[in-house]
A and B are shown apart, each in its own frame.
Chain A
């Protein structure tokens, strides 16, 4: 790792001030992606601003017909939350299958969404459930939030503070993990909310997480696995790498989408 300074922020305002003070300053939440990145010398921050211990960012709140989760909440806490299990079991299941138990004790929902790794799980849930991403500056809808691989609508000095997920009528997430890394080769989140039907795919898109409109339309008239398993996502915009070619990923999307719909029935 290159040398850097470490600062533990006590409040979001303090973190925001430090973040704005220098372009080379970076936020640290759980560090389960950032620390490996630093080890590979792929990043050279001047200062790491640790927001992992800020109390205002560590909570799970069930209110009305939504659940709001603080940005620094650990995957293990989401997986173990009775509120999440009751209202959003698909999200509890997703959180319980990120990485491994030790990683889940450190990794955070805000970190996952801010990093927007193309194979991360949380982006599929946020896009699939039409989550609202709250920052220290504004509220961003999931659709405009995800702008590309490792890219988001966040500005350089913007900090995610919490994420609000509406209770869906039905929802499920099924992923096909890479047998070695266990990252999603393809993960599909399907949800029927009071407003619309959504199908979000992670692991496969060359531009990160994306929705499959054709599957959403098909599910609107017929909520069954058969409605989606015959729909193929074009290979052009899919990842093709040593883990799997685009046609393989396209096939996996149809299969995982079918399994996700089946899991809601």
Chain B
């Protein structure tokens, strides 16, 4: 076992982990932040996407110890109290989810793409969603939500 320390949603945290403990396991099981989901566990579905030092990564394809010293944001870190993040709000208003399982990863990916790419268009949003799989919506309303959020987010 080894000690791992990082900042999660602005709060310093640490815990004992094995070498093989995945970052997503540490987040869900040690920190009880279960908003980050494990869908496929093979880095394809994107339900586990979080931000590490401001970059979207798949928490199921990283070891907890690789995140030592980093700043992590999970889906729980987006809203400010009762005020939803603009992307969360857009998903709510545009019916961007059905069962909701993929939603945390979709939103973390969406926040990253809106930050990174100015003037998002539909084609770019669809291409950027390459690593996030939704089995309910057919993506229509997810894409609509992201475009809506991109429009209302100040650059």
Contacts and interface: CB of A to CB of B under 8 A. Distances in A.
Interface stretch (A59-67, A94-102, A235-243): A94-102
Consensus secondary structure, chain B interface? mixed
Interface in B29-51: 41-43, 46, 49
A8 interface: yes
B61 A36 contact: yes
A100 B20 contact: no
Interface stretch (B7-15, B63-71, B90-98): B63-71
Contacts, number: 74
Interface centre among B43, B65, B68, by most chain A C-beta atoms within 10 angstroms, is: B43
Nearest to A48: B19
A5 B20 CA distance: 8
Tier of interface size on chain A: 20 to 34
A102 B56 contact: yes
Contacts of A8: 65-66, 68
B6 interface: no
Given A31-B66, A100-B130, A102-B109, A4 B61 contact: no
A76 B109 CA distance: 14
A54 interface: no
B148 interface: no
B57 interface: yes
Contacts of A99: 130-131
Interface centre among A4, A6, A39, by most chain B C-beta atoms within 10 angstroms, is: A6
B62 interface: yes
Interface of A: 1-6, 8, 28, 31-32, 35-36, 38-39, 48, 50, 52, 76, 99-103, 105-106, 182
In the A-B complex, the 8 residue pairs with the smallest Cβ-Cβ separation, listed nearest first, are A100-B131, A6-B19, A100-B130, A1-B20, A105-B55, A6-B65, A102-B58, A102-B56
